[in-house]
Amino acid sequence: MSFKDLEITIKYSSINNDIINDFYVPTLNKSKKYDRAVGYFSSAALLGYIQGLRKFVLNDGVMRLIISPVLTIEDLNAVIESRENLTKITENMFENFLIDEGSIKSSQILFYLLKKGVLEIKIAEPVNEKGIFHDKIGIFYDNNGNKISMIGSNNETLSALKLNTESFMIFKSWDKLGNMYVEENIKDFENYWENKMNNVKFTNINEILPADFLNKFKTNDSIDELFDSILDEDKIPNRFKPRDYQIEAAERWLIDKRGILEMATGTGKTKTAIYINNILRTSCNKLFTIVVLPDITLLNQWGNEMKDEYSKILKCYSKNPGWEIQLKDEIGLYKYSEKQQSLVLVTIQSFYSDKFRRQLDKLKGDYFLIADEMHRFGTYNKVRSLPNPNMILGLSATPEVYGNKELTRVLYDFFGGVIFKYDLEKAIKNRYLVNYSYHPIIVDLTDSEVESYKEITHKIVKMIGSDEDVEFSNDPIISSLLFKRARVIYGAMNKLVILDNIIDEIEKKGNLVIYSGITSEKEVEINQTLKNDDLRYQDKQEDEIFMKQIDSVGKILSKRNIRFSRYTSKESEEERISSIKAFKDKTYSTLLAIRCLDEGVDIPSIERAIIMASSTNPREFIQRRGRILRKHYDENGKAKEKAEIYDFIVLQENDNNTDFTSLNRKELQRFYEFSQLAENKDELNYKLERFEKLYLREGVKVYD
């Protein structure tokens, strides 16, 4: 067991070498003693070179460590003023080994090494204000009398070992010139250890920390069991038992490690993705997973779902301004580790930022990309700069880009197409979602709304020769006209009159969500599909127009003393979270929402919904319906048995001047989609036949 058997070079740097595997591990494997003096120390460094440390312990090795707890000028002054402060600062430093590094295992190993006498630590205590201890030397001893000394920039921390740009020189005792440096470094270390330095006093850690301080890291595991638990990367927690269809979805995805899971809202897309990720983690030494989410609410929801899977989760979004540096460090740690499991959650806005893409490029495609609500990638701007991961998973209840076959094709090609479907009908039939009853409520337009609708329709007919909607026309003028006409329907005043009449009876049953008029998000959706789609320009004045309905609904509820919370794009993330919490714990019986509640937000306690405004985009009502049908058990264990959906349908009888068949047909198509899976389907089909005769031209059906 001799250092002479090793291929030791004169210099090591993080740029040219794998410092851990090229130097630390092989050197510790053959060491019986290791002396180290550094400015900063982290217990997680023990995990960095754990394979070498394990052999070092088996060799009955002994390690002496000198460190400084002084990290700031304030700490330095505190140490000078009081020995009691030194104890407090040292305690805080050791606490941070656990808190900052995110692994209790490193602290448990540290505890074991100290208690067994394998490791001895002295704290450098400044005698006066002239400076702090910041020397960095290390000496390794083998059983044959050979010594290796190192001197350089690196501290004994995990980031110094794996992330930082560091370098150090190596001197060998069996080299005549090198031995001079080795002996000089040994002399310096021994002077420190024996307290022969004028400006710094070196005190054993046991004299500074309370006797029972380190006991909080005590463990009944042997050192071998601790090493095994860290080195065994296959022990991945799995907090739920996957359903049969989730296992089938995972098996299909694993064939090519690409594809879209088209699964109805409420059927467990998130858990299926976590299940797939855990399978990969157990089969790969290294895995870098990136999950792209539509917004912060969903990002935090995913974070809660995966907190038991990962001890550390990096969140890249606006509320974490330091995420770029953290991402850089995480990628560096991943690239230079033999075993590393990394998880990054990022909003789609941050994902497409220059800051994120610069760091992403460093992975060179070596990562697993999960895109929740993957249809959000379906804009011309986004598909022009799609990434290139070696594994990709798309999740959506509605993966198609509505009204745009070209973008749908590009998106399907990128993700690998739909490889698994689990629709709402199957989920209800197999009792993974609850049954529901559907109650369409017919709304007439006012005279002024009829005139507005006619006027806009006349302009559309002049431009395209028809009053039929050309969904998401590439002509911005036509798109604007179509949107203005749709706004007449969304904001129909009689909806408020009807709500005022029916709200008491519905609200008293509790657990109610009211989907009100849209915000400019609808116009965003239209403009997303324009080839010059710049989503940043939106008319602020129109925002206020769209908020009028939800404000009016709020007044109707308030005058009846109905307590409600709001969930719209106007509220902050904290306010949204508070709204959901107040609804879940029944502080409020009613949640007043706009379209931003549609995607992903998990509120299974909803039992009934009033839909005052709905677009013709199937994605909207498919997602809303699935959200309402989630299973739920209250605090007493009582199961949610069914859901009720009240849908405001705008229908207008045709006249001689303007044919409302286009409007009526679109509204009745939604009527049809909701009715087909409803418990009261037979009753609804009878109504649908009557409405076809009354509101459509002779011979025209809801679906031709």
Hey, where are the domains in the chain? Answer: 3-231, 244-428, 434-695
CA angle 627, 628, 630 (to 5 degrees): 70
Inter-residue contact 13 to 38 (CB < 8 Å)? no
What share of residues in the chain are helix, strand, coil (percent, to 5)?
Answer: 45, 20, 35
Superfamily of domain 3-231: Endonuclease Chain A (3.30.870.10)
- Structure confidence at residue 80 (pLDDT): 39
Inter-residue contact 548 to 568 (CB < 8 Å)? no
Which tops the pLDDT comparison, 636 or 103?
Answer: 636
What the block records as the tokens of 390 is 């070696």
Number of neighbouring beta carbons within 10 Å of residue 22: 15
Q: CA–CA separation, 116 vs 514, rounded Å? A: 64
What the block records as the tokens of 195 is 């307290």
What would the pLDDT profile of 335-369 be if each residue is shown by its tens digit? 888 888 999 999 999 999 999 999 999 999 999 99
Segments of 328-417 assigned E as strands? 340-347, 368-372, 391-396
Q: CA–CA separation, 420 vs 529, rounded Å? A: 26
Give the rounded percent of residues in the chain with a pLDDT score beyond 70.
75
DSSP state of 243: P
Q: Report H helices in 59-215.
A: 73-81, 83-99, 104-115, 158-162, 176-193, 205-208
The β-bridge relationship of strands 258-263 and 418-422 is parallel
Q: CA–CA separation, 93 vs 123, rounded Å? A: 11
Q: Is the pLDDT of residue 544 over 60?
A: no
Q: Is the pLDDT of residue 519 over 60?
A: no
CA-nearest of 184, 191, 119, 174 to 150 is 184
The band of 124, judged by pLDDT with boundaries at 50, 70 and 90, is confident
pTM to 2 decimal places: 0.61
- Structure confidence at residue 658 (pLDDT): 66
Q: What is the mean pLDDT of residues 656-660?
A: 70
The band of 542, judged by pLDDT with boundaries at 50, 70 and 90, is very low
Report the topology of domain 244-428: Rossmann fold (3.40.50)
SS3 702: coil
SS3 256: helix
Q: What is the mean pLDDT of residues 501-524?
A: 72
Q: Is the pLDDT of residue 1 over 70?
A: no
The band of 539, judged by pLDDT with boundaries at 50, 70 and 90, is very low
Average pLDDT in the chain = 79
Report the topology of domain 434-695: Rossmann fold (3.40.50)
Which tops the pLDDT comparison, 35 or 483?
Answer: 35
The band of 500, judged by pLDDT with boundaries at 50, 70 and 90, is very high
- Same CATH topology for 244-428 and 434-695: the answer is yes
For the ranges 89-93, 243-247, 639-643, 695-699, which has the lowest average pLDDT?
A: 89-93
CA-nearest of 112, 21, 117 to 61 is 117
Q: What is the mean pLDDT of residues 140-161?
A: 77
Q: What is the mean pLDDT of residues 385-414?
A: 90
What would the pLDDT profile of 269-287 be if each residue is shown by its tens digit? 999 999 999 999 988 889 9
